[in-house]
C-alpha cells in the first residue's frame, strides 16, 4: 500500500505554489502520494487568530526583508518559474471552491496546475471569474461545469469543513503537511516531511 501524506493549500499563498512545484520530486524519492486538501487561508486565519506575514511583521521591516530573501533563495535553489502577482493578497475563495468542484468532477490535478500557474507564473487575476474561465478553457477543462459546481451549497460547505478541520488539527497557515497526525508547517519543513515518510 502506497504511503500518503496530506498537503493543505490555498492558491492565494505563494508558498503553497512553491511546495506544489517540488512535491513531485519528493513523491518520486519517497514513493509516497501527496493528498491535496483545499482550505481557505483567510478562514483559517480567522479561526486561529493568525495574520499574513506582511501584517504580522509590519513593524519589523528587517524580518520582512529576511523572509523575502529566504523566499527568493528557495525559488532559485529549485529553479521554480515564479512571478509575484501584483494583486497579492488576492481573494481566492472562488478558485478554492473550484478546487472542491474539480475533485468531484475528476479533474483535480489539471485544475490545480492551471490555477497555480495562472496565479504565480502568469500573474493572472484569479479573483475574476472571466479570467478563471479563460484559464480553465485553455487548460482543456470544462469551465462551465466547474464554475457551476463551485457555486453549489455542498461544495461551499465542504471547503468550510476542510478549513475548520485544519484548524482543529492545529494548522494555522499554508502550506501545512500531515504525515499521519504529525504536522509540519511551511515549505522549509519538506525535508522533515521526507524524513518522516522514509523512516523505518
Domain boundaries, given as residue ranges, for the chain: 4-198
Per-residue pLDDT, averaged over 179-199, amounts to: 96
DSSP 174: S
Q: Are 101 and 146 in contact (CB under 8 A)?
A: yes
pLDDT single digits (tens) 45-79? 999 998 877 666 667 889 889 989 999 999 999 99
CA–CA distance, 126 with 12 (Å, rounded to integer): 9
Q: Is the pLDDT of residue 2 over 80?
A: no
Q: Which of 196, 199, 144, 200 is nearest to 5 (CA)?
A: 196
- Distance, CA of 197 to chain centre: 20
- Please report which confidence band the pLDDT of residue 199 belongs to, taking 50, 70 and 90 as the band edges: confident
DSSP, collapsed to helix, strand or coil, labels residue 70 as: helix
Strand ranges inside 52-180, DSSP E: 176-179
CA–CA distance, 167 with 53 (Å, rounded to integer): 18
Domain 4-198 has CATH 3.90.480.20: no
Note the maximum CA span of the chain: 49
DSSP, collapsed to helix, strand or coil, labels residue 37 as: strand
For the chain, report the end-to-end CA distance as a whole number of angstroms.
15
DSSP 173: S
Amino acid at each position: 500500500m502506497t504511503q500518503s501524506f496530506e498537503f493543505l493549500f490555498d492558491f492565494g499563498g505563494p508558498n503553497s505554489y512553491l511546495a506544489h512545484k517540488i512535491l513531485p520530486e519528493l513523491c518520486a524519492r519517497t514513493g509516497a502520494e501527496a493528498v491535496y486538501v483545499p482550505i481557505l487561508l483567510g478562514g483559517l486565519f480567522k479561526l486561529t487568530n493568525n495574520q499574513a506575514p506582511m501584517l504580522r511583521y509590519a513593524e519589523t521591516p528587517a524580518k520582512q526583508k529576511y523572509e523575502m530573501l529566504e523566499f527568493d533563495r528557495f525559488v532559485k535553489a529549485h529553479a521554480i518559474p515564479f512571478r509575484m502577482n501584483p494583486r497579492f493578497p488576492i481573494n481566492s475563495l472562488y478558485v478554492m471552491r473550484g478546487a472542491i468542484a474539480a475533485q468531484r468532477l475528476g479533474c483535480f490535478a489539471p485544475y490545480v496546475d492551471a490555477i497555480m500557474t495562472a496565479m504565480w507564473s502568469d500573474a493572472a487575476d484569479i479573483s475574476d471569474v472571466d479570467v478563471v474561465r479563460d484559464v480553465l478553457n485553455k487548460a482543456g477543462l470544462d469551465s462551465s461545469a466547474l464554475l457551476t459546481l463551485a457555486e453549489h451549497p455542498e461544495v461551499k460547505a465542504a471547503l468550510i469543513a476542510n478549513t475548520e478541520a485544519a484548524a482543529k488539527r492545529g494548522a494555522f497557515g499554508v502550506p501545512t503537511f500531515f504525515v499521519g497526525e504529525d504536522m509540519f508547517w511551511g515549505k522549509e519543513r519538506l525535508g522533515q516531511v521526507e524524513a518522516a515518510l522514509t523512516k523505518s
